[in-house]
Structure 1
Amino acid sequence: HTHTHTHTHTHDTTTTTTTTTTTTTTTHYVRTYVRYVRTYGTYVRYVTLRYVTLRYVTLRYVTLRYVTLRYVTLRYVTYVTLLTYLRYLRYVTYVRTYVRTYVRTYGTVRYGTYVLLLLLLLRTYYVLRTYVVVVVRTYVVVRSST
């Protein structure tokens, strides 16, 4: 699980064909590990998000390796579903907004910060009424606080 991809394509329509493998389709948690990347004087970090169940849009628990998140950019996306790319992006936007609200309410991280969505467990009626694992690899740009 060590990826050094710096794909700059954000909304390519060519990504719709990449329905990559059925590796972890029914897993209920995914562990993703942290790595450091230097870009433009800012640190790009990975943050682990373990076991997020969006069954009724409820955040079970979030494990953050670093709590100084400022900005989240979706750079490289792989997904294992029958979901279309656009529908997937809608889900990501909605969930990210929800997580931001959750964070502001319960103070998991600081005010106005983002939580990195590494794993989404989506309950959708479009895909066999089962849990769908969506793995999102994103880069988190953290401003180096001096």
Structure 2
Amino acid sequence: MFNILHDDLGRRNAYVAAEYNYTDGPFDVRQNFNRVNIFGKYNQWLTDNDYFNIQFSTFNSSWNASGQIPERAVDQGIIGRWGSIDPTEGGKTSRTNLQMNFKHIISSSEQIDAMAFYSKYNFNLYSDFTFYLKDKDHGDEIQQTDGRNITVPK
């Protein structure tokens, strides 16, 4: 995390942090796992009694999955321990958050706080639990999706 804005009076500052992760894992089908996280925060005293801050974070990840493998396929030597029956499984997900806070100090025992929050979430997963049990030609892969928008004024 880096302080990218600092004033000598201590009335404002800003921070930013980032992370990236990648791995192919031990699997025969490359996992191609990617994850990016970014975080930022800005704080400022507007007056001696008024404080404002805003925070932002975002996360994004995608991967390929070896999925479930039948123990009998490993025992019979059809695939190895790190193998895959269906190499098309995997997914991706992301979440972005934004939060703003405002504080007005009335006296040493009273203050007014206001907060607003927004979050956007997406999820997409490809799974194949039964392989070719139901559809002998195309396989039984399913897609699970979820998307949410959350807003909270307070």
Answer whether TM exceeds 0.5 for this pair. no
Task: Please indicate the TM-score interval, normalised by the length of the shorter structure.
Answer: under 0.3
Which structure has the highest helix share of the two? 1
Q: Relative contact order: is structure 1 or structure 2 higher (C-alpha 8 Å, sep ≥ 6)?
A: 1
Which structure has the highest strand share of the two? 2
State the TM-score, normalizing by the size of structure 1.
Answer: 0.23
